[in-house]
Amino acid sequence: MKLITAIIKPFKLEEVRQALMDYGVEGLTITEVKGFGRQKGHTELYRGAEYTIDTLPKIKLEILTDSSKVSEIIDVITKSANTEKIGDGKIFVTTIDEVIRIRTGETGSSAI
């Protein structure tokens, strides 16, 4: 089993979510996060005063899946989240040793 974590631009959330659902992803976790990478942040003007915003709002998606589906899910995310501009995000893939469904006690792939 693998955990796919994707950091994407907030305005791409609905497009990515719909593409994942169309592919057959049954569940995902969505979190609003802030961060920066090469994009670094930006300056804004508020009531005549300029100030720097060091972190930018992003969306973090977490998808737990069987190892056999990882490359297809990554393709779905990259195609639907891509704007070809800096700050499109990153995808991380982590190996998961065990999953347990709390309600039923199911483990492994059946718990996903």
Query: How many domains are contained in the chain?
Result: 1
Kindly report the backbone phi and psi dihedral angles of residue 61, in degrees, each rounded to the nearest multiple of 5, phi listed first: -110, 135
CA angle 78–42–75, rounded 5-degree value: 0
The domain in which residue 28 lies consists of: 2-111
What pLDDT is recorded for position 77? 98
User: The whole model's pTM is what?
Assistant: 0.85
List pLDDT tens digits, range 52-98.
777 889 999 999 999 999 999 999 999 999 999 888 999 999 999 99
pLDDT reported for residue 47: 77
Residue 1: predicted pLDDT: 93
Give the residue-averaged pLDDT of 45-49: 75
Task: Name the more confident of 108 and 41.
Answer: 108
CATH number of 47's domain = 3.30.70.120
Residue 35 pLDDT: 85
* H or E element in which residue 81 lies: helix 70-81
